Structure 1
Amino acid sequence: MKVKNYLLVCIVFMLSVSMFSQQGKQKRADTLFNKFSFVKAAEVYRELIANNYNKDYATRQLADCYAFLRDPNNASRYYKNVVKQDNVPVEYYYKYAQSLRGMKKYDESQEWLQRYKDSGGVVNVNDFSKDINFITSVFGAKQQYFLDKVRFNSKFSDFGAFEHAGKVYFASSRDEGVAVKRLYGWNEQPFLDVYVTEVGTKKNVDHTAKVKGDVNSIYHDGPVTITKDGRTMYFSRNNYKDQIEVKDKKGLTNMKLYRATLRDSIWTDIEDLSINGDEFSTQHAALNSDDTKLYFTSDRPGGYGGSDIWVVNIYPDGTLRELQNAGKVVNTESAEGFPFINNEGTLFFSSDGHTGLGMLDIFGTIQGENNEIVDVINLGLPINSNKDDFSFTMNPNGVTGYFASNRPGGRGDDDIYAFHRVPTLQVEGVVTDAVNTKPVPNSIITLFDDKGNQIAYMETDENGFYQINIDRDKDYKIVASQKKYIDDYRTFTSKNIQTELVSIQANLLLNPLPDVVKLAELNTIYFDYDKHNIREDAALELDKIVNLMTNDYPEMVIRIESHTDSRGALSYNDKLSIDRANSTYEYLISKGINPSRITEHKGYGERRLTNGCQDGENCEEVDHQLNRRTQFIVVKME
């Protein structure tokens, strides 16, 4: 009995030791997790799962570790088990959906997102579920961006490439060539430093390529941006003082933006910017085209959630004022970062809150008439992938640039990718009335290829304007038509044109087409023998002309020509025809026709007979009647 009791005590003791050991492991794992040491935390959580200790909790934490490490394959593997747990928090449905999205499993991702919504979860207004055809439209869109090789990537994290004055500045954790490396707990890689190399370099870039001066520290530094004059650099860095990291209330070290000045080829005079704070991060600097505005990323109070894009004015004395959030069109409840402004003032940024292909995607903004941002657009393939795509920059030529991604096929963790852009080419123009030079709205524009195949069809807007996307290196024919006009066409080519060109002008002129049905109503009017008064039947015809000129063709201009038969003296008939022309003219004016719309009213006497009833011929009265007439000639139409 004593032996049994002794064994029971030993077993309980061993179980207690084991339990306390597992509790210690979980505490250690949670401490590592809270310090963002996700690689080491994941190792301990896997041990806890293997030992079946608090397995559900450890599985959730392990899945989150992989999500923070931007590893959707392993994250989804563990989230798949998490969502099967009893009473699992509903947000894990969303996390599982996001990890599946990162693996291109879009249909399955959509199902779990719907389950999240059905369970009471709130989805961002900009979530990718708003457009069920998004993936199809992105994969089917015409490619504008093409990838080029970058030969200075390393097996570590490289991103934030920014080209200036023939050199490329970028952030990297490579630290190659250094004997002692300090590792960052989040991903077990060395801390970031700022490097610089020649554009197009094929050489290995090691520690000797770090920027000279005081920019690089013992903690994270980079990425950077530089003013157009090359004298000022803005860069990201960990918040630290006297070689010691400054912690916030949660025990975390945030990021700050700093400013450095170039003196004798050395970056020095490091300045802590006024927009920084110890309780939030400020990073990812970008400048507008004239260096008067600083864009950046921050999770400071007052945002929409996660991290937001912000902007502040830079005054000539260097002070930063009028801080503003970039707004809800850009920012979501999730994470936005890595802003960039091109020469045209277009904002580019990365986000996992807008409709995308995977995790972080790169977006461009669309501006309204007053330069306000009205929408964002996904840059599509191959800039974006199902992994993280970020730190987009564009060179002043608007055609080349860089971005970073952790997609498969790279050399290391995050890799820098160069791109060249072939912008969408458009043919555009205005359809104009050839007579009055006014635009012709609702004209039909038809575009044909060089084989006569119709490839586009549209109507002009209220200003007679049209715009159609076309392919490069093709021959085209474009036709404008409108029911009141004669068709006009032009042939043009998109061959051998500069890559920077985005638009070909093709204006078209339409000449009015006399409406046979309408103008047939401008009947000749007739007069009694030796009379110039307007008969009743003639008045009916003149009223038709008044209606046409007033309602159907408000800008039509006419000429009046009056005639007589051959009977009587030539001089007498000349005067009689003039009287008939005057009577016709005065009738039309009396009905409201502007005199300026009748260029002339002229009599021709018996000089323009319509038949052979000249002097000496024996003609019936009905034949003479045909010569006693006034005719209307259309000079200009609508």
Structure 2
Amino acid sequence: MALLLSLVTFAQTGQQKKADKLFKNFSYAKAADVYHDLIEKNIDTTYTSKQLGDTYSFLRNPDSAVVYYKNAISQKNIEPIYYFKYAKALRGVENYDEAQIWLKKYNEISDSLKTELPLNDANFLENILSAKQVYFLNDVKVNSEFSDFGAYEYNGNIYFASSRDKGVLTKKTYGWNNEPFLDVYVTESITDSTVNHKNKLKGKVNSVFHDGPLTITNDGKTMYFSRNDFIKNKRGKDELGSTNLKIYKASLVDNEWTNVEELPFNSSYFSNGHPALNADNTKLYFTSDRPGGFGGSDIYYVVLGEDEAISEPVNAGNIINTQQNESFPFLNSEDILYFSSDGHLGLGLLDIFETKTDSNNNAIDVVNLGLPINSSKDDFSYFINSDNLTGYFASNRNGGVGSDDIYAFNKLPELIIAGTIVDTDTKEPIKDSKIVLVTPTGEELATAISDENGYYEIKVDRDNNYGLKLFKEGYIDLTSLISTRNLDKTVSKITENIELNPKVIETIQDAEFFPIYFDYNKSNIREDGSNELDRIVNYMMNKYPEMVIKIASYTDSRGSNKYNLKLSEDRAVSTFKYLVDHGVSPSRILGYKGYGEDNLTNNCDDSTKCSEDEHQKNRRTEFVIIRN
């Protein structure tokens, strides 16, 4: 019996050593199988749970990792780092409240190990979930049961990295996930479901190890790409025997990519990968875990000079890089940097972010792209075409075909209000006018200044109401009402040309015209409205005989948009007729227009239940003094 027990113990110890060796050699898929065996045999469950949690974390499987990390942290004297790992896994399964608890606990216990990983707060999640959708996903049929990512479109072709090659000629699999090594494939359509080995990139880019993703210069002659440290049939390794990533370049010769060369800033002792060119090809951005960074992996760039000169790598800075991992940089046609990160405030594991810059192109903030681009899983390898409307990204989110899948999207075009500001008398453009974009309640959102041609433009969101307040010394201030509701998705510009009236010597000191109100579904002038209109008539006829005004009429939100627009126009006509019938010259009323249910004075839209008094505030005609 003693001999039997010793043999069992030896076998168990040998099994654990086998699992640990597989783990150490990055063969996580095989290590997971052996660790599961140990769990079932109830062998050192605390240690094995920690290892299984780590294994599934490396396999980017938070659904499984969270189970074993939970087992691990329930044990006494567990290392605090597992609170942090458990919290990250919880984010990956969208359990944000629980993740916040364990992140706080980790920071409280581990003063020397404090992390900058942001806590998912309620405001962030609420803002993400309630944000107006800008991206819309399209059909993709190019994905396989394996890993597909890094879609990059150039000159009518779509290049991407895939591990789909499992044919008889494939001799190697990647121990990390037991999938074949990545190769670069090319197709003309993202909906092509027949991509196979015949679609592999022609030339010398693909090797027996990982190849891709890539970027191509504007002239189409040079490709930069990621590959394991392998060139001229020689495989490089670090001090632990691991093969890292490097960046290479290839030249297009007779329609094949050849003349593969290694870039000078590579090293066998750390990884460089995910190359991305800026718009004019003077900089090459990439991911690296080289020493001296802020976290696990950072975004860097090198300057590409004449005669193939390449500068030393420059870290993109701590606005972009965190203590965690940043990867997969991409720059669009306007040199806006997009990248993936698990260190900025996100929905789960890797999220995709957009960099905001100042006038000198220095990064000042990053913005999460939100749904549906990001999910609780890994979202990465963002690409957008030069039109800034269509593109691709990859994700291992639930519901995909393989371990990583390519997703295609179209993006709503940015919307601007633009126009020319001129003098109402001379029609000459007015330079340096100040234009302030405001909400219906008067909150300032943005400011623009007209150029020497009187031209201005200002970015706005769709499905909103705005005011444009205009200020220019020597001219009467003006407010113009703008609506971006119910626009076609292809509209990218609203033209609003504006005429400003010069100030006269005499100014109106005591003229303030108040709105008049209407009964529900009515356009006739009520008694309280006629009192205010009589007061306006008196001002215009007796006190300020040169005064010019504008009339704007509205409805509440009840009823269809089409009906409310007609009803508001009827109210504007009723108001105009009253003033004219009481002696005001039509030439002194610059315009009378109905705006339907736009520009509500409160939150009483179709989604909000409001009292009759609250709706009443929106059934109105307002008056704007244009010139005195």
TM over 0.5: yes
Partner of 2:172: 182
Matched to 1:422, the amino acid is L
The one of 20, 25, 28 aligned to 1:38: 28
Partner of 2:134: 144
CA-CA distance at 1:494 after TM superposition: 7.3
- 1:445/1:481 contact within 8 Å kept: no
Whether 1:245 and 2:245 are equivalent positions in the alignment is: no
User: In the TM superposition, what is the alpha-carbon distance from 1:501 to its structure 2 partner?
Assistant: 2.7
Residue 105 of structure 1 is matched in structure 2 by 95
2:460 paired with 1:469:
yes
Mark the CA change 1:412 to 1:288 in structure 2 (over 3 Å): closer, same or farther: same
1:501 corresponds to which letter in structure 2? Answer: S
Q: Work out the CA distance in 1 between the residues paired with 2:196 and 2:88.
A: 36
User: In structure 2, how many angstroms separate the alpha carbons of the residues matched to 1:500 and 1:406?
Assistant: 33
Q: Counterpart of 1:350?
A: 340
**How far apart are 1:319 and its partner, in Å?**
2.5
User: C-alpha distance in 2, partners of 1:344/1:383?
Assistant: 20
Provide the secondary structure at the position in 1 that maps to 2:376: coil
- What is the aligned counterpart of 2:500 among 490, 504, 509? 509
How far off is 1:497 after superposition?
6.7
Matching of residue 421 in structure 1 with residue 407 in structure 2: no
Note the residue ranges of structure 1 that are not aligned, 5 or more in a row: 1-10, 448-453, 520-636
Decide which structure has the larger Cα Rg and report it: 1
Deviation at 1:34, TM superposition (A): 1.1
2:444 paired with 1:458: yes
Q: 1:144 to 1:506 in 2, by over 3 A?
A: farther
- The aligned residue for residue 52 of structure 1 is 42
Question: Would the aligned equivalents of 1:456 and 1:468 in 2 still touch at CA under 8 Å?
Answer: no
Distance 2:337 2:494 in 1: 22
Alignment deviations for residues 126-174 of structure 1 (CA, whole Å, 9 cap, x no partner):
x332754111111111111111111111011000000000000000000
Partner of 2:385: 395
2:283 corresponds to which letter in structure 1?
K
Residue 306 of structure 2: SS of its match in structure 1?
coil
Distance 1:66 1:423, change over 3 A: same
The answer to whether the 8 Å contact 1:184/1:190 transfers is yes
Match of 1:489 among 476, 480, 505: 480
1:566 corresponding residue in structure 2:
none
Question: Which residue, out of 295, 306, 310, partners 2:300?
Answer: 310
Q: 2:274 is matched by which residue type in structure 1?
A: H
Aligned to 1:69: 59
Q: CA RMSD in A?
A: 3.1
Tell me the residue number matched to 1:530. Answer: none
Q: Is the 8 A contact 2:283 2:302 kept in 1?
A: yes
Q: Alignment identity in percent?
A: 46
Preserved CA contact (<8 Å) 2:461 2:484: no
Distance 1:132 1:212 in 2: 50
Mapped contact 2:421–2:497 kept (Cα < 8 A): no
CA contact (8 A) 2:244 2:269 kept: yes
Residue of structure 2 in register with 1:255 after alignment: 245
Query: 1:193 and 2:183 equivalent?
Result: yes
CA drift at 1:184: 0.7
CA drift at 1:70:
0.8
| 1:274-313 alignment, distance < 5 Å | 274-313=264-303
For residues 296-355 of structure 1, the C-alpha deviation after alignment (integer angstroms, 9 at most, x for no partner) is 111111211201111001123223114211111111111111110111011111011111
Judged with a 3 Å threshold, the aligned counterparts in structure 2 of structure 1 residues 78 and 248 are, in CA distance, closer, same or farther, namely same
Name the CA distance, whole Å, in 1 between partners of 2:312 and 2:229: 23
Pick closer, same or farther for the CA change 1:503–1:164 going to 2, 3 Å.
Answer: farther
Q: Secondary structure at the match of 1:56?
A: helix
Letter in 2 for 1:99: A
Q: How many corresponding residue pairs?
A: 501
Give the superposition deviation at 1:87: 0.7
In 1: Cα distance, 2:364 partner to 2:468 partner: 33
Match of 1:29 in 2: 19
Q: Which residue of 2 aligns with 1:5?
A: none
For the 8 Å contact 1:429–1:467, the answer to whether it is kept is no
Flag the 1:372–1:177 CA change in 2: closer, same or farther, 3 A: same
SS of match in other structure, 2:250: strand
Task: Pick closer, same or farther for the CA change 1:419–1:500 going to 2, 3 Å.
Answer: farther
Tell me how far 1:199 sits from its aligned partner.
3.0
Amino acid in structure 1 at the alignment position of 2:38: L
TM-score (norm 2): 0.74
Aligned match of 1:563: none
Secondary structure in 1 aligned to 2:145? coil
2:385 alignment partner AA = N
Contact 2:166–2:180 (CA<8 Å) still a contact in 1? no
Q: 2:326 aligns with which of 326, 336, 339?
A: 336
Q: Does 1:159 align with 2:149?
A: yes
Is the 1:398–1:500 Cα contact (8 Å) retained in structure 2? no
Q: What is the letter of the counterpart of residue 41 of structure 2?
A: N
Q: Distance in 2 between matches of 1:466 and 1:361?
A: 31
Instruction: Write the letter of the residue equivalent to 1:515.
Output: T
Structure 1 residue 170 corresponds to structure 2 residue 170: no
For 1:223-622, what aligned pairs fall within 5 Å after superposition?
223-240=213-230, 243=233, 245-427=235-417, 437=430, 454=440, 457-458=443-444, 461=447, 467=458, 469-471=460-462, 478=467, 480=469, 485=476, 487-489=478-480, 499=490, 501=492, 504=495, 507=498, 509=500, 511-512=502-503, 514-517=506-509
What is the CA–CA distance in structure 1 between the aligned matches of 2:315 and 2:495, rounded to whole Å?
37
**How many Å apart are 1:211 and its aligned residue?**
0.5
Q: Where in structure 2 are there 5+ consecutive unaligned residues? A: 451-455, 512-626
Whole-angstrom distance in 2 between the partners of 1:318 and 1:455: 56
Secondary structure in 1 matching 2:17:
helix
Other-structure match for 1:13: 3
Distance 1:234 1:52, change over 3 A: same
Contact 2:137-2:407 within 8 A present in 1 as well: yes
Aligned-pair CA distance for 1:201:
4.5
Structure 1 residues 238 and 479, CA gap change in structure 2 (3 angstroms): closer
TM-score, normalised relative to structure 1: 0.72
Letter in 2 for 1:283: G
Q: d(CA) in 1 for partners of 2:205 and 2:186?
A: 12
SS at match of 1:321: coil
The amino acid of 1:363's aligned partner reads F
Residue aligning to 1:572: none
Relative to structure 2, which stretch is displaced further, 197-206 or 144-153? Answer: 197-206
Q: Taking structure 1 as reference, are residues 516 and 490 closer, same or farther at Cα in structure 2, changes over 3 Å only?
A: closer
- Distance in 2 separating the partners of 1:482 and 1:162: 46
Q: Which shows bigger deviation, 313-322 or 101-110?
A: 313-322
Could you list the per-position Cα deviations for residues 451-486 of structure 1 after superposition, in whole angstroms to 9, with x for gaps in the alignment? xxx5875377595989563326x9x78464889946
Q: 2:100, 2:120 within 8 Å by CA — same for their partners in 1?
A: no
Deviation at 1:17, TM superposition (A): 1.4
**Maintained 8 Å contact 2:332/2:388:** yes
Q: Which residue type is aligned with residue 351 of structure 1?
A: S
Distance 1:478 1:509, change over 3 A: farther
AA aligned opposite 1:142: K
Worse-superposed segment, 460-469 or 384-393: 460-469
> 2: distance between equivalents of 1:384 and 1:459?
27
**Secondary structure, aligned partner of 1:236:** strand
Structure 1 position 363, deviation (Å): 0.5
C-alpha contact (below 8 Å) 2:476/2:500 kept by paired residues: no
Alpha-carbon distance change, 500 to 325 in structure 1, aligned in 2, over 3 angstroms = farther
